[in-house]
Amino acid sequence: MTAALAPTAWAALSRAHEERADALTAGHRARRATGERHAIDDFLYDYYGTRPAVLRRWHPGVGVGLEPGPHGAAPHRQWRWYATDPDGTVRLDVAAFLADRADSVRFIRRLLSAISSRPAFTGCFGLHEWAMVYRQREHRHPLPLRLGQEGTDTVVESHQIRCTHFDAFRFFTPDAVGRNLLQPTRESQVELDQPGCLHASMDCHKWATKLGPTVAGELALDCFELARDIRLLDMRASPYDFSSYGQPAVAIETPEGKAEYVARQRQFAARAGRLRSRLIEVCDTVLDPDR
| Confidence (pLDDT) at 1 | 52
Per-residue pLDDT tens digits for 182-202: 999 999 999 999 999 999 999
Residue type at position 133? V
State how far Cα 171 lies from the chain centre: 18
Using a pLDDT cut of 70, give the percent of the chain over it: 99
Count CA within 13 A, CB hemisphere, residue 8. 0
Domain coverage including residue 207: 3-287
| pLDDT exceeds cutoff 60 at 242 | yes
The phi, psi pair for 91, rounded to 5°, reads -145, 165
State how far Cα 85 lies from the chain centre: 34
Number of domains in the chain: 1
Q: Which of 55, 56, 69 is nearest to 5 (CA)?
A: 69
- How far apart, in whole angstroms, are the C-alpha atoms of residue 172 and residue 133? 7
| Confidence (pLDDT) at 71 | 87
For residues 43, 165, 210, 56, the Cα torsion angle rounded to the nearest 10 degrees is -30
Summarize the confidence of residues 35-52 as an average pLDDT. 96
Count CA within 13 A, CB hemisphere, residue 92. 25
- How far apart, in whole angstroms, are the C-alpha atoms of residue 204 and residue 229? 12
| Confidence (pLDDT) at 141 | 87
- Enumerate the β-bridge partners of residue 83: 91
